[in-house]
Chain A
Amino acid sequence: MLLRSAFVPRSEFEAGTGWRLKAEGACQGDVCIPLSQPAGDPVDVARVARDIGMPLVAAPEYGLWALGPASIGSRALASAQAPDLRLPGLNAKEFRLSSLRGQKVLLYAWAPY
């Protein structure tokens, strides 16, 4: 996820990374990684990223940081629980994958190039 600050609201961190911050640690489905300290809100991204093993790349001259995904178990998915994808459509209105609970969903990736 893209960052413009070293601290981001918890909900933003959770949406951007797919990891829920709970009392027992950072969780995806039933997989939880313990944190060295409670994550807090806003989240100290560098510290939580270190705990979960997410790489952080900085471009300070542009005021930007990018947080890479975790690689728990050396796989893209730590759990089969789908993260709550949040993306806009053409109207810029945010859509949430979780709004389709109760239906079977085929998420289809395409590109115009």
Chain B
Amino acid sequence: MWQALRNELHPKGFELVTVGLDTQGDAGCRAFIEAARPEHPSLIDRHHVLAGLFGVINIPSSVWIDENGMIVRPAEAAPAPPRAAGSAPGFSMPAGVPQRFVEIMAEAAKIRKDAQGYHAALRDWVEHGAASRFALSPDEVVARSRPRDNAKALGHAHFQLAAQLEMDGHHAAAIQHFREAHRLVPESWTFRRQAWSLEKVGDGPLARFWQGPNPETPGAWPYAGDWLSDIRKVGAENYSEPWRP
């Protein structure tokens, strides 16, 4: 869907750059990228540098950057383009999947998405550039970027260290630094989901999506939260901040 939108807007001087945030790198992202067959730059970010550089704390999210390299909208939730009426849904749950996945998908379906507002704004900006009311001033961009203090900055350092330790095969050491990152940057869903996804339950293609304790060994789960508990705690409708013009 994003690819089709990109191809439509590309002749108007628009480019899409997708970034897969995954410490597992090519191994984690390849199947998805190859299936999408992108004609735009498609990058892989093993240390989540987008978090530190742009304030990305969630996926999917976007940053808009103008022709001069100025950010005109800082990191915000980026819903997929609205579907054309009558087109088929992109995903349906296969029969026989474990109950946990059914519950995860039910929560995910409640996540608020203002696709109409966001995509109308995107088209307006591509058409009108700086004159678009959705292109924010530099001061507004800075003011709307994520709050960050020294403790959160320290949490980012712990996350990057954890990612590298994981890549180097030091999984137990990585967990300690992931936990620090979660404690110091509790608002980051990506920091949590990344760490949870590395605790695979089972070994099939869905193992990374379990994102919680193994029902057979629940005491071995190394993190304070998990996907289902955390999303129920905040309410799925609060997973993304509401889009504001």
Residues in chain A within 8 A of chain B (CB atoms): 1-2, 16, 18, 29, 53-57, 59, 62, 64-71, 73-83, 85, 87-90, 95, 97-98, 100-113
B interface residues, how many (CB within 8 angstroms): 87
Q: What residues of chain B lie closer than 8 Å to A113, measured between beta carbons?
A: 22, 28, 193-194, 196-197, 208-209, 211
CB distance B14 to A78 under 8 Å? no
CB distance B59 to A104 under 8 Å? no
B94 at the interface (CB under 8 A from A): no
CB distance A89 to B43 under 8 Å? yes
CA distance A57 to B17 in the complex (A): 30
B243 at the interface (CB under 8 A from A): no
B231 at the interface (CB under 8 A from A): no
Residues in chain B within 8 A of chain A (CB atoms): 2, 13-22, 26, 28-34, 41-45, 47, 49-50, 52-56, 59-72, 74-75, 78, 122, 125-126, 129, 138-139, 141-143, 145-150, 152-158, 160-161, 164-165, 168, 170, 173, 177, 190, 193-194, 196-197, 208-209, 211
For the complex of A and B, 3 pairs with smallest distance between CB atoms: A76-B55, A68-B157, A113-B197
CB distance B22 to A106 under 8 Å? no
CB distance B2 to A68 under 8 Å? no
CB distance A103 to B59 under 8 Å? no
Q: What residues of chain A lie closer than 8 Å to B32, measured between beta carbons?
A: 112
CB distance A108 to B14 under 8 Å? no
CB distance A2 to B15 under 8 Å? no
CB distance B33 to A90 under 8 Å? yes
CB distance B67 to A104 under 8 Å? yes
CA distance A67 to B69 in the complex (A): 25
CB distance B122 to A106 under 8 Å? yes
CB distance A76 to B148 under 8 Å? yes
Q: What residues of chain B lie closer than 8 Å to A56, measured between beta carbons?
A: 157
Given contacts A56-B157, A82-B70, A111-B21, contact A75 B211 (CB under 8 A): no
CA distance A104 to B12 in the complex (A): 9
CA distance A83 to B63 in the complex (A): 12
CB distance A71 to B44 under 8 Å? no
A54, A79, A87, A101 interface centre (most CB from chain B within 10 Å): A87
CB distance B74 to A76 under 8 Å? yes
CB distance B158 to A66 under 8 Å? yes
Q: How far is the CB of B86 from chain A (nearest CB, A)?
A: 26
CB distance A102 to B147 under 8 Å? no
CB distance A66 to B161 under 8 Å? yes
Q: What residues of chain A lie closer than 8 Å to B145, measured between beta carbons?
A: 75-77
Among B26, B29, B148, the residue within 8 A (CB) of A71 is B148
Q: What residues of chain B lie closer than 8 Å to A53, measured between beta carbons?
A: 150, 153
Q: How far is the CB of B167 from chain A (nearest CB, A)?
A: 10
CA distance A1 to B52 in the complex (A): 9
CA distance A104 to B135 in the complex (A): 11
Given contacts A54-B153, A59-B173, A68-B156, contact A107 B194 (CB under 8 A): no
CB distance B18 to A110 under 8 Å? yes
Given contacts A77-B141, A113-B194, contact A68 B154 (CB under 8 A): yes
Among B17, B74, B125, B197, the residue within 8 A (CB) of A100 is B17
Among A2, A67, A75, A107, the residue within 8 A (CB) of B19 is A107
